[in-house]
């Protein structure tokens, strides 16, 4: 218990710092729907701030101590808001309790009969999105929190009136330890976020703590094919509901058949046919994600038809093998992959699609990750026909390690390092051709390059 529960009462007044953020804006909407009086601040105007004002939520632009009304009961902040923020300083001076957004979500979850929390080093956004499609097909009217945009919702969140909430649950800074899952999904575990975790064992311990939050009458859903996941969860001595590609799992796939970018398979539940699925996103990793979503649906008692229908309508989440358009006759796709395991899954999915050449434009994310997983990145970045490397996206870090994408390029045949997107665009203009696939990949701002390419191509076509 975080203490936030006692503030979940009508007429309590809360102030959210960073209210326009991807998980803060739906939080504001949910709290407002519960009858609380919510205000907030953000650095910039956005569609989200305008949307929140339509509910009568007062949003201030810029951070100032004056933004806190005299009768504010509590403050919620995003992880990006530091202690030197003037509103945080004012809250501390006035004795107003300050909570992290994950603590607020964790408390809110307790008001739902079903809290489905989807975790894993990779695949969280996609699997949370697949589960949302299934819940919508089942008319469950769910509340949803996704770390990316889902075309079905035209947003990354949804505020429903049903008894089920589904949340993408991140391990970074042990954020998901504040949650209250009734169903916890662990997709996979790898060494990542090593600027926070000490090593792989530390990451496993974090997931084990998360899974242990599930009550005895809840479900822990685990990837039987992933050794790290099973190593992390078996010490709990709890019943696990497993998914995987072998019939040793509780939920597994048979008769897998690839048809272009589409995959057909049967979902089996403990030896019996549960449903047939036509999946419109490529790759074996997405079959596993769909099995995880199906396993969660079984735990929720959802009809097989809704699972089949929901998954068949899923065409991908934003920035997950997202088709952007054409450039010089080549297909342009964008993907959020920023870990070697995600790169492997992406390239495994693309290779059977029959393109003449794969041109990968990769922007590494954070200096610490690039340094810690350098050899693994080299192994995957050698696979495309051409690899164009943008400079490392710093995100929250400073380059104290003296590492550059140029260091990667030196180890990779048929690769080139570019200091700017302009240079990459110029090189692609000379290189890309019909029959190629161009992948803009990374968790930074490399997606903008793909959008620029497609926009430039559209202008040429219009002329």
Q: In the structure encoding, which two tokens stand for residue 411, read together?
A: 């180890």
Q: Which residue has the tokens 């990145």?
A: 377
Q: Which residue has the tokens 């434009």?
A: 361
| 87 part of the active site | no
E strand residue ranges, 2-142 = 13-17, 37-42, 58-61, 74-77, 98-100, 114-119
User: ∠155-23-27 over CA atoms, to 5°?
Assistant: 100
| 125 part of the active site | yes
CA–CA gap between residue 75 and residue 117 (Å, rounded):
24
Q: Are 382 and 389 in contact (CB under 8 A)?
A: no
Q: Long-range contacts made by residues 221-227, C-beta under 8 angstroms, separation at least 24?
A: 221/183, 221/184, 221/185, 221/186, 221/292, 221/295, 221/296, 221/299, 222/186, 223/120, 223/186, 223/187, 223/188, 223/288, 223/292, 224/248, 224/249, 225/249, 225/288, 226/187, 226/188, 226/189
Task: State whether the Cα torsion 84-86-90-91 is positive or negative.
Answer: negative
For residues 404, 199, 209, 295, the Cα torsion angle rounded to the nearest 10 degrees is 70
Nearest CA-CA partner of 113 in 306, 300, 307, 302: 300
Q: Which of 124, 204, 288, 324 is catalytic?
A: 124
Strand pairing report for 262-269 and 272-279: antiparallel
| Close Cβ partners of 139 (under 8 Å, ≥ 6 residues apart) | none
Q: In the structure encoding, which two tokens stand for residue 129, read together?
A: 């999105």
Q: In the structure encoding, which two tokens stand for residue 144, read together?
A: 């949803």
For residues 79, 81, 87, 89, the Cα torsion angle rounded to the nearest 10 degrees is 90
Element (H, E) at 148: strand 143-150
Using a 10 angstrom Cβ sphere, with 0-12 exposed, 13-18 middle and 19 or more buried, the burial of residue 184 is buried
| 168 part of the active site | yes
CA–CA gap between residue 72 and residue 63 (Å, rounded):
16
Q: Which of 100, 168, 171, 322 is catalytic?
A: 168
Q: Which of 78, 125, 275, 387 is catalytic?
A: 125
Q: Are 325 and 332 in contact (CB under 8 A)?
A: yes
Q: Which residue has the tokens 């926070």?
A: 196
Q: In the structure encoding, which two tokens stand for residue 321, read together?
A: 């093998």
Catalytic residues: 124-125, 168
């Amino acid at each position: 218990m975080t203490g936030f529960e006692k503030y979940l009462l009508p007429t309590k007044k809360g102030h959210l710092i960073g209210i326009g953020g991807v998980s803060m804006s739906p939080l504001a909407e949910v709290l407002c729907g519960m009858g609380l009086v919510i205000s907030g601040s953000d650095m910039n105007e956005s569609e989200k701030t305008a949307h929140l004002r339509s509910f009568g939520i007062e949003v201030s632009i810029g951070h100032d101590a004056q933004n806190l009304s005299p009768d504010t009961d509590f403050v919620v902040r995003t992880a990006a808001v530091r202690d030197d923020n003037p509103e945080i300083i004012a809250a501390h001076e006035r004795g107003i309790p300050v909570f992290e957004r994950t603590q607020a979500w964790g408390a809110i979850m307790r008001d739902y009969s079903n809290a489905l929390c989807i975790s894993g080093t990779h695949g969280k956004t996609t699997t949370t999105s697949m589960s949302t499609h299934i819940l919508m097909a089942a008319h469950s009217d769910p509340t949803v929190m996704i770390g990316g945009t889902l075309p079905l919702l035209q947003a990354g969140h949804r505020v429903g009136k049903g008894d089920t909430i589904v949340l993408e649950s991140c391990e970074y800074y042990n954020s998901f330890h504040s949650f209250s899952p009734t169903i916890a999904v662990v997709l996979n575990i790898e060494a990542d976020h090593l600027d926070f975790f000490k090593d792989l064992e530390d990451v496993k311990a974090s997931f084990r703590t998360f899974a242990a939050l599930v009550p005895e009458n809840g479900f822990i859903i685990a990837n039987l094919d992933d050794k790290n996941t099973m190593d992390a969860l078996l010490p709990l001595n709890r019943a696990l509901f497993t998914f995987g590609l072998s019939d040793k799992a509780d939920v597994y796939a048979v008769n897998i058949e690839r048809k272009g970018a589409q995959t057909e398979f049967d979902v089996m539940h403990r030896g019996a046919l549960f449903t047939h699925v036509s999946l419109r996103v490529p790759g074996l990793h997405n079959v596993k994600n769909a099995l995880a979503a199906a396993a969660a649906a079984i735990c929720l008692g959802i009809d097989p038809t809704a699972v089949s229908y929901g998954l068949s309508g899923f065409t991908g989440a934003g920035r997950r093998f997202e088709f952007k358009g054409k450039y010089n006759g080549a297909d342009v796709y964008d993907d959020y992959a920023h870990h070697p395991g995600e790169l492997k899954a992406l390239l495994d999915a693309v290779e059977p699609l029959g393109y003449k050449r794969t041109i990968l434009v990769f922007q590494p994310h954070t200096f610490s990750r690039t340094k810690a997983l350098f050899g693994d990145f080299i192994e995957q970045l050698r696979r495309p026909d051409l690899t164009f490397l943008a400079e490392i996206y710093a995100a929250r870090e400073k380059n104290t390690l003296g590492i550059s994408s140029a260091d990667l390029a030196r180890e990779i045949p048929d690769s080139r390092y570019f200091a700017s997107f302009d240079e990459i665009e110029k090189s692609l203009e000379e290189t890309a051709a019909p029959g190629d696939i161009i992948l803009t990949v990374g968790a930074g701002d490399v997606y903008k390059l793909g959008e620029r390419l497609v926009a430039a191509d559209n202008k040429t076509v219009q002329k």
